[in-house]
Amino acid sequence: MTQLILRRLATSVLILLAVSLLVFIATLLLPGDPAQAILGQQATPERLAALREQMHLNDPVWQRYLSWLGGLAVGNFGMSAASGGAVTALLGERIGASLVLLLAAAVISIPLGLLLGSYSALRKGRAGDHITTGASLVLAALPEFVIGISLITVFSTTIFPILPSVTMAPPGEAVWNYPSQLVLPTFTLVLMVTPYIARMMRATMLEVLDSGYVEMARLKGVPEGQVILRHALPHALSPVAQVIAIQLAWMAGGVVVVEFLFRYPGIGQALVDAVANRDVQVVQTLSILIAAVYIVVNLLADVVGILTNPKLRTGGAR
Amino acid sequence: MSTSVVEPPTTTKPVLSAQDLRISTTSGQEILHGVSFTLQPGKILALVGESGSGKTTAGLACLGHFRQGLKHTGGEIHLAGTGNTGSILDLPEQERRKLRGGSISYVPQDPALSLNPAMPIGRQIAEVLQVQHYGRSEEERSARVAEVLAEVGLNNSPAYQRRYPHQLSGGQQQRVGIAMAFACRPSVLVLDEPTTGLDVTTQALVLQTIAELTERHGVAGLYITHDLAVVAKIADEVVVMLSGEVVEKGPAAEVLYQPQHDYTRKLLSAVPDLAGKRQVGRVAVITGEHPVVGRESTAAAAARQQLSTPPTTDGGKLLEVTGLKLSYGKTQVLDGIDFSLAKGESMMLLGESGSGKTTLSRCIAGLNDDYKGTVRLNGEELRPGTRARTPEQRQQVQYVFQSPFSSLNPRRTICESVEVPLQMSGTLNRKQRRIRVREALDQVRLGESYLDRRPGDLSGGQRQRVAIARALVNAPQLLVCDEITSALDVSVQASIIDLLRTLQAETGMSMLFVTHNICLARHISQRMAVLQQGRIVDLGSTDEVLQRPRHEYTRELLANVPTL
């Protein structure tokens, strides 16, 4: 089993390397010159040449790639072209803020999705099932900004003016010191992600409930609760884990829109700003980070799959 | 109908009695029309019937369980020794659950599907003990797990108990299922075709285990099956069911050897036997299936004639397989196969699951292309893989799959399905193709009315006929039949076997009949090859192999064949 996980881990590292190469090439292809962008109006040929020298822009491409990669490995993401400061300093706080949002949404939506999915599978064909599947279909069909705006309309304007619609933490203070401001963005993400998890859970749960071993467990006299928890749930989880992984990964990127909507000081905002300012180092760093999130959550889903399937765990030896 | 049969005199009080049991679908269609039977301690009652007769439904009702879409509409089931005087079907679900696994337990048909794949077998057995509050402590329960595993003849070491179902063979899985059923010392055991899918040697072992345990512990057994040879071996009494009704019941010896009802007689005559005394081909079909060849059809008679005479050698070799090898990773699936098939000859390829028989037939048909060795047709070497073969070569070798339920596209009409090979050869226009399809359907005794129907409207036997027609449209020289009767009832199997023999006599094609059922040997083949772990261990004319088996494995198989 460890071998299997290690092999997946090795593949993940390779994929990450490939992504870093792609990101690097993509930023090379961007029009414009970072040195020019930084200096802007004050660019004179001498200063440009000096800055180029300082930023190693004159080195061969492969050397720049390797030194950038080396920097990534030790946590040195380079200097921001727009602010002139270290990328780590610029992004550190924002990454934390985004992670808080992501984690809060994941912690709420995963159990909620699993519960709702199992509930509607168990009540298949009854009112509870119809309501859950209907509602989840509608929510899944709505784009995130529509959900976000609707939430703002309902909870922070005229109807129930109880929650703030934008995030307004004073600079330098952490977002989680103002929990009420976190509610609406988190809630939007939860509403986006939960329907997919619930629908997938319902489908796999229905399949598992129809299986021979669940019927056998019932015929063994196992109480219904234990049938669900011990015989049905573990088998239903593994395909759902893949969907959860895709959803979490989507959140890492989709958070951009939600953060923009609520003016939340996270990586989404930073990414939008960086692209506007042609801040190459920041764009590179964020792309790699988001790619890393994708890979890590998918790896976790694979591990869940391995844990719930003894065939993978023990090998096929008879 | 059941009232006309005299109940055998009983000295002991029955453990379980079902009276006038009626079950219908939720939409109101009645499935069981008043079924009654009684179970005696230490005796096994066989519930016999073909698919759709309601035998599993009746068996599950004994546990107070109804599958989705079914509901209980009448009748009672009494279970002695549980403190309940009324019918167990009147108990609330909670109470019925307490009986299951404790007083009455169930052995499922397919252990591979019915054991939880993610739970070690020891824990699955312990779970029953735990929910039934068997014993006073955890130690007592784990001692019982070890004891019951030993009783069914399995290793009971802690390491073995930690194994997962996929680490056991089919026979071992089924014995785990039996151990689970016996764990709480039930008074009634319901066994739902527990040996279907096992090869004869394993089946003999499982049957012996069941017979021993029921006798030793005085357990009453309800044995659900369609296999009358197994019934003869294990049952004390027999109840025969036909579409939800009991048509005959009585002691096993009476029902099997002096059957009163027509249906029982037909069922018995359809059972293939090793000695080849019964002519399974001549049975009239029972289940409203298609009427087959007439009683003394000349073609069938000719086929029988041909079956008894050795094939003429002047026909030459049609198929020649030499040194065929194939491995998946480290597992050697086929380990050097050599055999040949003469023109117009029929050969049985016998082997249990995992012996490589399907892999071998797929290699011959070109569906597997990564084999080593050569396959020659008419002296010409075939390249591995259908894509590498010429269209003519592909037409010469046709394949019929095991399951007629998955080998036909449910969205296509019969005509469209059968037409495909003709479209591929591309020489006929639409009209000519339709004529050819009609001829092929005639050959398999399905009329024109089937042309525009879809597989969903057809019974299993009819679907298999369509699959055979599809293989026949291009008039192949070699027909590979991969377990084509194992998903079918015995009476349908008999009609398919009859059809194949007739077709062979009509067309003069060669046939490779792949099966695990040794009883069919004398009914289908002139020669047979016995396959074990990727090697042919016995090869010769059917008579030779059955009378003077050369290999220990063949002898073992022959010794374990259940006979009527």
B491 Cβ contact list (under 8 Å, min separation 6): B50, B266, B267, B270, B283, B285, B286, B287, B289
Residue among B67, B113, B128 whose CB faces A220 most closely: B128
Indicate yes or no: CB of B116 within 8 angstroms of CB of A213.
Answer: yes
* Percent of chain B with pLDDT strictly greater than 70: 90
Residue among A216, A224, A314 whose CB faces B164 most closely: A314
- Whole-angstrom distance, CA of residue A281 vs CA of residue A289: 12
Task: Kindly tell me if the per-residue pLDDT of B281 is higher than 80.
Answer: no
Residue numbers in A near B67 (CB within 8 A): 215
Residue numbers in A near B185 (CB within 8 A): none
Indicate yes or no: CB of A221 within 8 angstroms of CB of B114.
Answer: no
Report pLDDT for A204: 93
Q: How far apart are the first and last CA of chain B?
A: 26
- Model pLDDT for residues B391-450, shown as the tens digit of each residue: 888 888 999 988 888 888 988 999 999 998 888 877 888 888 999 899 899 888 888 888
Cα torsion A269, A273, A274, A276 to 10°: value is 140
Task: Kindly tell me if the per-residue pLDDT of B314 is higher than 70.
Answer: no
Closest chain B CA to residue A305: B118
Question: From chain B, which residues contact A within 8 Å (Cβ)?
Answer: 60, 63, 65, 67, 97-102, 105-106, 108, 110, 113-119, 127-128, 131-132, 164, 166-169, 180
Residue numbers in A near B114 (CB within 8 A): 212-213, 215-216
- Whole-angstrom distance, CA of residue B478 vs CA of residue B341: 9
Q: Buried b / exposed e across A277-301, counting CB within 10 Å, b at 16+?
A: bbbbbbbbbbbbbbbbbbbbbbbeb
Indicate yes or no: CB of B131 within 8 angstroms of CB of A223.
Answer: yes
- Whole-angstrom distance, CA of residue B237 vs CA of residue B256: 10
Closest Cα in chain B, distance from residue A138 (Å): 30
Residue numbers in B near A231 (CB within 8 A): 116, 119
Indicate yes or no: CB of B167 within 8 angstroms of CB of A222.
Answer: no
Mean pLDDT calculated for residue range A24-33? 76
Indicate yes or no: CB of A220 within 8 angstroms of CB of B118.
Answer: no
Task: Kindly tell me if the per-residue pLDDT of B140 is higher than 50.
Answer: yes
Q: What is the mean pLDDT of chain B?
A: 82
Task: Kindly tell me if the per-residue pLDDT of A109 is higher than 90.
Answer: yes
Closest Cα in chain B, distance from residue A306 (Å): 11
Indicate yes or no: CB of A213 within 8 angstroms of CB of B98.
Answer: no
Indicate yes or no: CB of A219 within 8 angstroms of CB of B128.
Answer: no
- Whole-angstrom distance, CA of residue B52 vs CA of residue B44: 22
- Model pLDDT for residues B456-506, shown as the tens digit of each residue: 888 888 888 899 999 988 889 999 998 888 777 888 888 888 888 888 888
Indicate yes or no: CB of B113 within 8 angstroms of CB of A310.
Answer: no
Task: Kindly tell me if the per-residue pLDDT of B8 is higher than 60.
Answer: no
Strand partners, B37: B18
Three-state SS annotation for B387-435:
HHCCHHHHHHEEEECCCCCCCCCCCCCHHHHHHHHHHHHCCCCHHHHHH
**Spacing of C-alpha A3 from chain mean position:** 27
Read off the tokens for A184: 């609406």
Report pLDDT for B301: 46
Residue B220, SS3? strand
Read off the tokens for A93: 């706080």
Q: Is B534 left (phi over 0), alpha (psi -120 to 50) or beta?
A: left
Mean pLDDT calculated for residue range A202-230? 90
Other beta carbons within 10 angstroms of residue A186's beta carbon come to 24
DSSP label at A27? Answer: H
Top mean-pLDDT range of A49-53, A59-63, A160-164, B136-140: B136-140
Beta B104-107 vs B188-192: how paired, if at all? parallel
- Segment (H or E) for B200: helix B200-217
Residue numbers in A near B63 (CB within 8 A): 219
Beta B535-541 vs B380-382: how paired, if at all? unpaired
CB-based contact A236:A203 (threshold 8 Å): no
- Of B9 and B20, the structure prediction assigns the larger pLDDT to B20
Residue A230, SS3? helix
Largest alpha-carbon pair distance within chain A?
85
Find, among B114, B112, B144, the residue nearest to B128 by Cα: B144
- Model pLDDT for residues B343-395, shown as the tens digit of each residue: 888 888 988 877 888 889 989 988 888 888 888 888 888 888 888 888 888 88
Report pLDDT for B285: 34
CB-based contact A188:A148 (threshold 8 Å): yes
Q: Is B260 left (phi over 0), alpha (psi -120 to 50) or beta?
A: alpha
Find, among A272, A110, A258, the residue nearest to A194 by Cα: A110
- Tell the residue number behind the tokens 């993978």, with chain if given: A312
Q: Is B536 left (phi over 0), alpha (psi -120 to 50) or beta?
A: beta
Indicate yes or no: CB of A219 within 8 angstroms of CB of B113.
Answer: no
Residue numbers in A near B97 (CB within 8 A): 218, 221, 223-224
Question: From chain A, which residues contact B within 8 Å (Cβ)?
Answer: 211-213, 215-224, 226, 230-231, 234-235, 308-311, 314, 316-318
CA distances from B247 to A264, B48, B190, B238, B271 (A): 77, 10, 21, 11, 18
CB-based contact A300:A9 (threshold 8 Å): no
Report pLDDT for B313: 45
Q: How confident is the model at residue A111 (pLDDT cuts 50, 70, 90)?
A: very high
- Whole-angstrom distance, CA of residue B290 vs CA of residue A287: 67
Beta B331-342 vs B317-328: how paired, if at all? antiparallel
Mean pLDDT calculated for residue range B15-32? 87
Residue among A212, A219, A309 whose CB faces B118 most closely: A309
Find, among B404, B426, B333, B319, the residue nearest to B365 by Cα: B319
Find, among B331, B324, B317, the residue nearest to B360 by Cα: B324
Q: In this structure, which long-range contacts are made by residues B552-557, counting pairs with CB atoms below 8 Å and at least 24 apart in sequence?
A: B554/B530, B556/B201, B557/B199, B557/B200, B557/B201, B557/B350, B557/B518, B557/B530
Closest chain A CA to residue B169: A318
Q: How confident is the model at residue B84 (pLDDT cuts 50, 70, 90)?
A: low
Number of residue pairs across A and B with CB atoms under 8 Å?
80
Report pLDDT for A172: 65
Q: How confident is the model at residue A318 (pLDDT cuts 50, 70, 90)?
A: very low
DSSP label at A138? Answer: H
- Whole-angstrom distance, CA of residue B134 vs CA of residue B551: 47
Mean pLDDT calculated for residue range B64-84? 83
Read off the tokens for B344: 């117009």
Cα torsion B432, B433, B435, B441 to 10°: value is 170
Closest chain B CA to residue A231: B116
Find, among B19, B35, B34, the residue nearest to B88 by Cα: B19
Report pLDDT for B223: 92
Task: Kindly tell me if the per-residue pLDDT of B192 is higher than 70.
Answer: yes
Closest Cα in chain A, distance from residue B554 (Å): 24
Closest Cα in chain A, distance from residue B82 (Å): 15
CB-based contact B517:B338 (threshold 8 Å): no
- Whole-angstrom distance, CA of residue B482 vs CA of residue B464: 12
- Residue of A219, A307, A311, A312 to mutate, interface with B, max B Cβ within 10 Å: A219
Report pLDDT for A113: 93
- Tell the residue number behind the tokens 């449209």, with chain if given: B473
- Tell the residue number behind the tokens 């077998």, with chain if given: B121
Q: How confident is the model at residue B284 (pLDDT cuts 50, 70, 90)?
A: very low
User: What's the angle, vertex CA B221, arms to CA B138 and CA B161, rounded to 5?
Assistant: 30
- Model pLDDT for residues A142-188, shown as the tens digit of each residue: 888 888 888 888 888 877 777 777 777 666 667 777 778 888 888 89
CA distances from B24 to B27, B34, B57, B322 (A): 8, 11, 10, 56
Q: How many residues are recorded in chain A?
A: 318
Task: Kindly tell me if the per-residue pLDDT of B309 is higher than 50.
Answer: no
pTM of the model: 0.76
CB-based contact B391:B473 (threshold 8 Å): no
- Of B505 and A205, the structure prediction assigns the larger pLDDT to A205
Report pLDDT for B278: 61
Task: Kindly tell me if the per-residue pLDDT of B230 is higher than 80.
Answer: yes
Residue among A216, A223, A317 whose CB faces B114 most closely: A216
Closest Cα in chain B, distance from residue A270 (Å): 45
State residue B442 phi and psi, 5-degree precision.
-60, -40
- Whole-angstrom distance, CA of residue B12 vs CA of residue B345: 56
Other beta carbons within 10 angstroms of residue B498's beta carbon come to 26
Indicate yes or no: CB of B65 within 8 angstroms of CB of A314.
Answer: no
Q: How many residues are recorded in chain B?
A: 564
Indicate yes or no: CB of A222 within 8 angstroms of CB of B131.
Answer: yes
Closest Cα in chain B, distance from residue A315 (Å): 9
CB-based contact A121:A201 (threshold 8 Å): yes
- Of A13 and B294, the structure prediction assigns the larger pLDDT to A13
Sheet (strand B16-25) strand order: B30-39, B16-25, B70-79
